[in-house]
Amino acid sequence: QVVLVESGGGLVQAGGSLRLSCATSGRTIRTYNLGWFRRAQGKEREFVAANNWSGSITYYADSVKGRFTISRDLAKNTVYLQMNSLKPEDTAVYYCAATRTYYSGSYPGSGMDYWGKGTLVTVSS
């Protein structure tokens, strides 16, 4: 069973930074492709960032490219989403998700097999 636990969300001023964490197992961090998704109130879930099981291939949504960075710490069994230069439109519940299917370019939410419960990020202006 794959368990994903997000943390690190909170309230931040526009232009500020947050780092989200997704804690999982050693097996999952080493064998699953992992991604971050978000859902803003009243909007559809959207892809944010992802990397493959080795962490060597990464993808970002155009809206966050250059501002967000996804990474894995194998020693801590954790995948991170470093978010810089935050904007009010980044406000959303952020979810960590996993799949063994590899996608090129980006990961569809429908293709993810396991999901965390989410962590809320609120960016004020």
Longest dimension (CA), the chain: 40
Q: Which of the two residues, 105 and 40, has the higher pLDDT score? A: 40
Rounded to whole angstroms, how far apart are CA atoms 13 and 18? 10
| CB neighbours of residue 42 within 10 Å | 5
**Phi/psi at 98 (5° precision):** -135, 150
State which H helix or E strand residue 122 sits in: strand 119-124
Q: If you average pLDDT over residues 73-96, what whole number do you get?
A: 97
91-113 pLDDT, tens digit per residue, is 999 999 999 999 998 999 999 99
43-74 pLDDT, tens digit per residue, is 999 999 999 988 789 999 999 999 999 999 99
